[in-house]
Amino acid sequence: MATPPLLQLTDVSLTFGGNPVFDNLSLTVHQGDRVALVGRNGSGKSTLMKVMAGLVEPDRGTRVVPTGSSVGYMEQEPDLSGFETLGDFAASELAASEMYRVERASEGLKFDPDRPVSTASGGERRRAALAKLMAEAPDLMLLDEPTNHLDIEAISWLEDELKSTRKGFVLISHDRRFLSELTRATLWIDRGEVRRQEQGFSAFEAWRDKAWDEEDTQRHKLDRKIKSEGRWAVEGISARRTRNQGRLRALQDLRKERSGQIRRQGSAALELTAGPKSGKKVIEAKGVTHAFGDKSIVRAFEMTIQRGDRVAFVGPNGVGKTTLIKILTGEITPDEGTVKLGTNLVPAVFDQSRAQLDPDASLWDSLTQDRGMRVSGSSDQVMVRGAPRHVVGYLKDFLFDERQARAPVRSLSGGEKARLLLAKLLARESNLLVLDEPTNDLDVETLDLLQELLDDYDGTVMFISHDRDFLDRVATTTVAMEGIGRATVYAGGWSDYQAQKRADAAPEKKAKSAPKPEKSAPTSKPDTQSSLSFTEKHRLEELPTVIDRLTAEIAKLEEFLAQPDLFTKEPMKFKKGTEALVERQTALAAAEEEWLELAEKAEDA
C-alpha cells in the first residue's frame, strides 16, 4: 500500500497587494523527497515555502499534512524574543535529554549556544534557527537559503547531514553545488505556475531552456495563426455571413489567449564599465602581520596583485577575511609590514551586510539620494557611469517594475536587495572591485550574468565567497585563511586549492603508520575528559554499541549464507546476503578504526 504524502497543496491561490503570486497551484511532497525549489528572485519561492509551512494562509485552496507527520521550517529572519541564549531557542522544542543534538549541530554550524540573544548577530541567529530544525529532525524540513552566513566547512557539515538523513526536505539556495549534491527532484516556480521534474538541480537548466524554447515556438505559431486569421477577417467579405461568425469568434478567442499569456521576465541588464586603467601592479604586500588583541589575523603575509587578477579569499567565518582585504586596500594599517597601492586606483565596494541600504527608504530614494549617483537639480535622475538616467528606467534594468520604485527597501526579498546593491555598485566606474559575499540570495540567472560580467571586466576583482561553484568560475587566485595567522596563496579557484592542499598533505599522510584495528569490540571506555570535541566524545561513547550491533549482524549473515543449497535454490537471496555481509564488514572495520583513533586522541590529551 502506498504511503500518504508528507504535504499536499491543492488549487492554492494567493495575492499580495492585488497582484497574483500563485493561481490554482498544486504540489505534493512525499516521504524521503529531496527537492530543489527554484525560480527567479521575486517569483514567490519564500512565500510558497511559508504556505507549505502553514505560516501564510492562502486566499483559496487546501494544505494537507497527514496526522502524525511533522513539518519544520527554517526562517531567514527568526524571531528569538523570549529566549535568553541561542541554545535556549534551538532546544525550545526538545526534551532536556536531547540537548546533545543542539550541541552537536552548534559545533557543525559554528555558533555558541551560550551566546546571549541580545548580542547575537543576524548570521548567528540564522545558524541557531538551522540548528533548531536539524536537532528537531521533522519528517519534512523546509530550508530557505540555509547556506547564507555559513562558511564552507559548515556548508560541508550541513551537506553531509542532509545526505545521510532519511527525512524529506525542500531547499531554496543560490549555491549550485549544494543543490546539485543533495537534490533528486526540482520544483520550478515560474510566473505563478509550479512544475516538477524527477531529476535534481543538475538537470534544471537544460529542462528550463527546453521548456522556454517550446514556449517560444508555440507563441510564434499562435502569432502566425492570429495574423493569418486577422487578414481573412479584414479582406474576406464573406466573413460577414452568418456561417462565418464562428470563425470570427475563434479569432477573438485566439487573441484573448495571446493577451492572457504572462510574459517571461527578462534577464537583468547588468553592465560594468571599467574606469581609467590602473597601474600594472595593483597591490604589493610585504611582511604583513596583524592581530586583534590575542587573535592573529595574518603573520608575515606577502602577495602581489596584478591588474586583471581575480583574487578570492576563503576560510572559516571570523578568521579575518574582511580585515585582510581592508589591510590590502589601505583601509586598515597593519601592525607590521607594508602595503603599497598601485597608481590610479578607483575602487567600488559591495557590502554583504546590506549596510548601504536604508530599510525605510524607497528604492527611488536609495538611488537618487546616493551621493555617488545624485544628479544636481534633478530628483528623478541618477548618474550611471557618467551619464544621467531616469531612476525608473535604471531600476527596470535590474528587474524592478515601476510599482516597486516607491516601495520601501524592507519590502524586498533577499535577492531583490542584492540586486539593488548591484545597481548602486554598477553605476560607478571603477578599476578595482571589492565584493563581500556577492552571491548571497541571487537567483541562478543573475549569478550567471554576474559571472560573465566579472569575466569581461577590465579591472581587478577581490572577493569573499563561500559559493564553491562561483569560486571555481571566477577566481584566478585563492587566498586560504586557515586561522592562527596562516594565509596561503594558491593558483586557481576552490577545486584547484583543494587539489593542491591534498597534494601538499599526501607526504605527511604516508609518513604516518595507521594502527591495525582489533577484531573484538572494546569493552572499556577511555576517559573522555580531554581535548575531544562534544561530537567526538558522544561518538566515542556510542561506538562500542555500534560495533557490537555490526558484529551480531555479521554473525547472522554468515550463518544464513552457510546454508548448503542457498546458492543454487535462491541465487538472488545469496547475492543480496553477500552484499549485505560485505557492507557490514566494511562498516565494522571503519567503526573499529574510528574508535581506535578517538581513544588514542583521548589518551594523548
pLDDT tens readout for residues 567-601: 667 767 767 777 777 778 888 888 888 887 888 77
CA nearest neighbour of 171 among 35, 311, 278: 35
Q: Is the predicted pLDDT of residue 259 greater than 50, yes or no?
A: no
What pLDDT was estimated at residue 18? 64
Homologous superfamily (CATH) of 7-70+138-206 is P-loop containing nucleotide triphosphate hydrolases (3.40.50.300)
> Rounded to the nearest 5 degrees, what angle is found at the Cα of 143, between the Cα atoms of 142 and 146?
170
Q: Which three cell numbers stand for residue 83?
A: 529566549
Give the residues across from 460 on adjacent strands: 432
Quick one: average pLDDT of 443-460?
84
Where in the chain are the domains? 7-70+138-206, 281-346+429-504, 534-604
pLDDT tens readout for residues 365-403: 999 988 888 888 788 899 988 889 999 998 888 878 888
CA nearest neighbour of 532 among 449, 601, 472: 601
- Please say whether the beta carbons of 65 and 436 come within 8 A: no
Per DSSP bridges, beta strands 387-390 and 295-306 are: unpaired
Q: How far apart are CA 572 and CA 575, in angstroms?
A: 5
Q: How far apart are CA 76 and CA 78, in angstroms?
A: 6
Quick one: average pLDDT of 17-42?
85
Q: Does domain 534-604 have CATH number 3.30.300?
A: no
Q: How far apart are CA 154 and CA 438, in angstroms?
A: 19
Q: Above pLDDT 90, what percent of the chain?
A: 39
| Higher per-residue confidence, 349 vs 328 | 328
CA nearest neighbour of 439 among 431, 430, 449: 449
Give the alpha-carbon dihedral of 572, 578, 579, 581, to 10 degrees: 140
What pLDDT was estimated at residue 440? 79
Q: How far apart are CA 113 and CA 101, in angstroms?
A: 12
What pLDDT was estimated at residue 185? 94
Q: Is the predicted pLDDT of residue 528 greater than 50, yes or no?
A: no
Q: Above pLDDT 70, what percent of the chain?
A: 83
Q: Which three cell numbers stand for residue 131?
A: 540548528
CA nearest neighbour of 201 among 31, 74, 37, 41: 37
Q: Which three cell numbers stand for residue 191?
A: 510566473
Q: How confident is the model at residue 471 (pLDDT cuts 50, 70, 90)?
A: very high
User: Which stretch of DSSP H or E encloses residue 411?
Assistant: none
Per DSSP bridges, beta strands 140-144 and 168-172 are: parallel
| Reduced DSSP (H G I as helix, E B as strand, rest coil) percent helix, strand, coil of the chain, to 5 | 45, 25, 35
| Higher per-residue confidence, 401 vs 223 | 401
Q: Is the predicted pLDDT of residue 37 greater than 90, yes or no?
A: yes
Region of poorest pLDDT, from 118-127, 140-149, 189-198, 212-221: 212-221
Task: For 281-346+429-504, give the CATH class.
Answer: alpha beta
What pLDDT was estimated at residue 419? 84
The residues, ordered by sequence, that sit 6+ positions from 447 with a Cβ below 8 Å of its Cβ are: 174, 176, 439, 470
Give the residues across from 10 on adjacent strands: 62
Q: Which three cell numbers stand for residue 581?
A: 555481509
- Please say whether the beta carbons of 80 and 128 come within 8 A: yes
- Transcribe 166-180 into DSSP letters: -SEEEEE-S-HHHHH
Q: How far apart are CA 172 and CA 74, in angstroms?
A: 11
Q: How confident is the model at residue 60 (pLDDT cuts 50, 70, 90)?
A: very high
Region of poorest pLDDT, from 173-187, 242-256, 386-400, 540-554: 242-256
What pLDDT was estimated at residue 527? 46
Decide if 7-70+138-206 and 281-346+429-504 have a common fold: yes
Is the CA virtual torsion 567, 573, 579, 581 positive or negative? negative
Mean pLDDT (the chain) is 83
Region of poorest pLDDT, from 128-132, 183-187, 396-400: 396-400
Q: How far apart are CA 185 and CA 204, in angstroms?
A: 9
Q: How far apart are CA 195 and CA 190, in angstroms?
A: 8
pLDDT tens readout for residues 419-451: 888 888 888 888 999 998 888 777 777 788 788
